[in-house]
Amino acid sequence: QLCIRDRHMTISDTFDGEIGRSMAEFSAEYMTHIEGHLDEDLTHVPDRIMRILRDLDGYVQGFAVSQLQHSLQTATMAERAGADPDIVVAALCHDIGKWISNANHPAIAAEMIRPWVSDKAYWIVKHHQDFQGRHYYARIGLDPEMRRKHVGHEYYEAAEQFVDEWDQAAFDPDYDTLPLDHFEPLVRETFSRPPKRG
């Protein structure tokens, strides 16, 4: 009997065939069974992203705004500047990696959103900290021009705009920030797309 328990579902006794003891031994029928559940699991990704974003409201790190408010401000500024929807989603989600680790949060966030957003949005999120360094790295003994290692990259100027105009400026408790509810339809549309592989 196969019994899988998860927050979203309980699957019990749904596969009667041969299972195998390792992935190398899984039958084609069992893999089809698993793939069906993985496809169903994808329908919960928008809810998970929304839950992570809401959780960031309790993550302040000494700033004048929470990480959720910072993310909402960044996304609000991007939207008001006419950024395409994937960049707005990137602005909203660029710091969700802090939910796990501050030290490598850009890489975590970038990989979390990669299957659903453009290559441009992915690259900006992955490298935004290198660009952010211009605004404070000198104060902590790091190279403030870390972004220069990316000179010549096709998304370099877009990353500069993302960080210099929106991200680094999005710590203002008095800014007219759009609420998470405003962005929820875009989040749900984006993370309901068929994910890219690889």
pLDDT by residue for the chain (198 residues), tens only, comes to 333 344 444 443 477 788 878 889 888 888 888 888 887 888 999 999 999 999 999 989 899 999 999 999 999 999 999 999 999 999 999 999 998 988 899 999 999 999 999 999 999 999 999 999 999 999 999 999 999 999 999 999 999 999 999 999 999 999 999 999 999 999 999 999 999 987
Q: Which amino acid is at 49?
A: I
Instruction: Identify the pLDDT of residue 9.
Output: 44
Instruction: Identify the pLDDT of residue 189.
Output: 98
Q: Which amino acid is at 179?
A: P
∠ CA 82-84-90, nearest 5°, is 110
Of 67, 64, 93, nearest to 78 (Cα)? 93
The C-alpha torsion from 119 through 122 and 128 to 129, rounded to 10°, is: -130
Of 20, 48, 44, 46, nearest to 33 (Cα)? 20
Instruction: Identify the pLDDT of residue 41.
Output: 85
Instruction: Identify the pLDDT of residue 36.
Output: 81
- Considering the entire predicted model, what is its pTM? 0.87
User: How far is residue 90 CA from its own chain's centroid?
Assistant: 7
Tell me how far apart the alpha carbons of residues 151 and 168 are, in angstroms, rounded to a whole number.
20
Instruction: Identify the pLDDT of residue 35.
Output: 84
